[in-house]
Structure 1
Amino acid sequence: MRTPHIDDAKNPDLETNQTKNGFLCLVSKLVIDEKLPIRFMYKTVPDHLNDTGWRMYTGYETEDFLEDELLNMIPMPVETMCKADPTLTKLVEYNAGTVWERHPGADENGWERVYDYKIPSPQVDVSITNDADEFNSLK
């Protein structure tokens, strides 16, 4: 089964009509330090008002690398990333939940939409109880 290409969207207006907030994205240090191209990106729900929700990677990040987001991801203006790689400009208009991939060796416009990737969400440790005494002891 062929993954749809960027221009195959059923209704682009529905895919890009979210309210746009923020101007920053998180970019892998490998993009900045090693000058590697972005080959994988997704948009999650923004973490704060300046965040667009876009996360951009080279595809060479290891699990250990990805676990330390504070050390290995750099906040960058989306506009700066689009100037460095103009093929991102059309993609960053898409809504949260969108995932894009560009395979090594593909032409520079070779972005394909990914539908089977589960976007990571923050791990929150929550304790739930229906016992009032237990709940009160947690305060």
Structure 2
Amino acid sequence: MWICHKGAHLLFGVDEKARRLFGCWPVATGRNIGQKRKVGDMRTPEGLFPVQSVHDASYWQPYRDKKTGDTVGYGPWFIRLKTPPWSGIGIHGTDEGHLSEIGTDASHGCIRMKNEDLLRIKEVVRPGQKVLIVP
């Protein structure tokens, strides 16, 4: 199981069988605080969501941040979460130009982390695992 604490900007890996924490990583969450209300509100949804799939994002094109005009990359992997009614929410990496945003409210709604940390969790994350996102 994974727990994302938005206020603390941390992602925890929890071994449910052993009842122990196996990792903790700094993350960026939605630029705007609070529960997601509509598409484009730059909030990270709160609740319990399953991992839907894991995608190789190394060839994905970066997106342009409409507010800042910056180009932002997804890093090497995209861990897609099933977050109805929202789509396109996941856990992904970032590029060198946005590393300073890790640990802040900076994303468009995804959970963004350092690429080297993403590579670590990619080794143990599986579709169907639960991700609990709390305020």
Normalising by structure 2, we get a TM-score of: 0.29
Q: Which has the higher contact order (CA 8 A, sep 6+)?
A: 2
TM-score, normalised by the number of residues in structure 1: 0.28
Tell which structure's C-alpha radius of gyration is larger.
1
Name the structure with the higher strand share: 2
- Looking at secondary structure, tell me which structure has more helix per residue: 1
